Amino acid sequence: MDMIDTRIPDVKVLTPKRFGDHRGYFSETWNAARMADLGLVFDFVQDNESLSAEPGTLRGLHYQAPPFAQTKLVRCATGAILDVAVDARRGSPTYGQWAAARISAEEGNQILVPRGFLHGFVTLVPQTQVIYKVDNLYDKESDGGVDCFDPDLAIDWGITRDEATLSGKDEDLPAFRDFVSPFEYGEF
């Protein structure tokens, strides 16, 4: 397993090894013991999957507030995304900053988004299937988000708001400056 830091060191890009032959390949996308050797210890309890038919489908920026905060390990089964994590931990030296990584089925890479971060992604190709593990169950009352096109965050999604396909929920999220973060740096 290769692991690299993004511009925010708590957000990691992981690339599991692939073992290929004439049939294709095999890859171990999660192994608790091997991850623990890298200092990554999580008790994942739920797997989620989304399929986006068109490029430019943007999902985010989402979070779950404590005590239902979630760490996410995100990968693509098909297609590719630009995945973004925004540090929402009050008191963090990188509060309000974002890290991004291109994640694709072809590369076989994954992004680890820790608790205390806002998370979102935009699809880069048609029929992109995203699968992610979370270490806490979904709780509707703890669900929240921030406007993914907030000018204060200035995330470079590679598309404009007019070009993006957003859900009704994501179109009406508050600005980052109006967001009262439920996360404290060092809490998790």
Nearest 10 degrees: Cα torsion 155, 161, 164, 165: 120
Catalytic annotation, pick one of 62, 63, 119, 185: 62
Helix (H, G, I), strand (E, B) or coil at 122: strand
Q: Does 22 participate in catalysis according to the annotation?
A: no
Distances (CA, A) of 123 to 16, 51, 116: 22, 10, 23
Phi, psi (rounded to 5 degrees) for 46: -155, 140
Cβ 80 vs Cβ 106: under 8 Å = yes
CA distance linking residue 171 with residue 60, whole number of Å: 10
Rg (CA), the chain: 16
Catalytic annotation, pick one of 22, 95, 132, 138: 132
Phi, psi (rounded to 5 degrees) for 128: -90, 125
What residue has token string 């511009």?
A: 7
- Is omega for the bond preceding 67 within 30 degrees of 0, making it cis? yes
Q: Does 62 participate in catalysis according to the annotation?
A: yes
Give catalytic residue positions.
62, 132
